[in-house]
Amino acid sequence: SGQNSGFHLLYQFCTAARPFSPFWFSVEPWDTLAVRGAPALLNCSAHSGDPALEPIAPQARVEWKKDGTFLSLAPDDGRRRVLPDGSLLISSVVHSKHNKPDEGTYQCVATIDSLGTIASRTARLTVAGRTHLGPIHRKYIILGSISFSG
């Protein structure tokens, strides 16, 4: 009878443990072509649990790496910020011959203390210079009438 009570205690302990809660990226960043001086957005969103079963799922803490190093995004950094969904917004891409702070490889890293950390695929942000459209690309609207005479 001593063995049976030990088995019963072990069974209760195992069944009382919290079941595994899934943790995944619903959106991951993709390679992006940005324009110097324009905004750029790298999308990322992580979720845990089944919304139908666990409406109060723990919120993921999202950080970003650039070229393998965590970005230090200070609250006063008006140019780069992580949006509430986890995406990284660069409000104005900086790029010059000798200064290319935004171009590189980015990765989204999400953490939920009770579940651990997951890392997204890497995405390359490439910066193009401002494009100038020549006359061949412009559209003209001509007001007036056209008549054809034979």
Residue 120 has pLDDT above 90, yes or no: yes
For 141, the 3-state DSSP assignment is: coil
Q: How many CB atoms lie within 10 A of CB 113?
A: 9
Let me know if residue 11 belongs to a domain.
Answer: no
Average pLDDT, the chain: 78
Let me know if residue 5 belongs to a domain.
Answer: no
CA distance 108 to 35: 21
Let me know if residue 78 belongs to a domain.
Answer: yes
Let me know if residue 126 belongs to a domain.
Answer: yes
Residue 49 has pLDDT above 80, yes or no: no
Question: Average of pLDDT values for 110-138?
Answer: 79
Let me know if residue 57 belongs to a domain.
Answer: yes
Let me know if residue 94 belongs to a domain.
Answer: yes
Let me know if residue 35 belongs to a domain.
Answer: yes
Q: pLDDT tens digit string along 82-107?
A: 999 999 999 999 999 899 999 999 99
Let me know if residue 117 belongs to a domain.
Answer: yes
Q: How many domains does the chain have?
A: 1
Q: Which amino acid is at 57?
A: A
Domain that holds residue 43: 20-130
User: 124 and 100 in contact (C-beta within 8 Å)?
Assistant: no
CATH number at residue 56: 2.60.40.10
